[in-house]
Amino acid sequence: MSSVTYDTSVLGAYKLIDLPDNFLLSAVVVFELMANATDESERKHLERLRRVYERDGTLIVPNADDWLMASKILYWLEHSRRKRAGGKSLPKKPGATQRMALDALIAVSARRYKAAVVTEDWDDFKAIQYYCRDIKLKRGSDFFRQ
């Protein structure tokens, strides 16, 4: 059975009680969750969780090549967007570039672990996958219906 990791959108969309045996935790997702923690106890819990996955060897951490590939994907996405807009740089929603950068890091680092990314941000991850075809994706609504 191949490994899976969850994008942050999945953790917000589903009440997850149990994680599958083939689950890998993304350090990028931990980063996003910690940045949005509501209090110190939640932040500390996430820190402990990260340490457990790190010790088990089930923590996906982006390496230098992942950062490079993610930056290439963002470059290609932006140039494609400008080309469709006739060379103009169209305004984006606040934080859109940062969210896409984190999603690209999740996707390319999961690819290195041969893990499928389960996500509810389907359009963003499909756009990323267009430039890095061997990224495996699963739609959250399909994955949790199994």
User: For residue 130, what are the domain limits?
Assistant: 4-143
Q: In the chain, what percentage of residues exceed pLDDT 70? A: 97
CA distance 31 to 35: 6
- CATH code of the domain in which 127 resides: 3.40.50.1010
Reported as a single tens digit per residue, the pLDDT across 21-36 is 899 999 999 999 999 9
- Poorest-confidence range of 5-19, 44-58, 65-79, 95-109? 5-19
Q: pTM of the entire structure?
A: 0.90
16 touches 143 (CB < 8 A) = no
DSSP state of 38: S
Q: Which of 50, 55, 63 is nearest to 105 (CA)?
A: 63
State yes or no: pLDDT of 49 exceeds 80: yes
Number of domains in the chain: 1
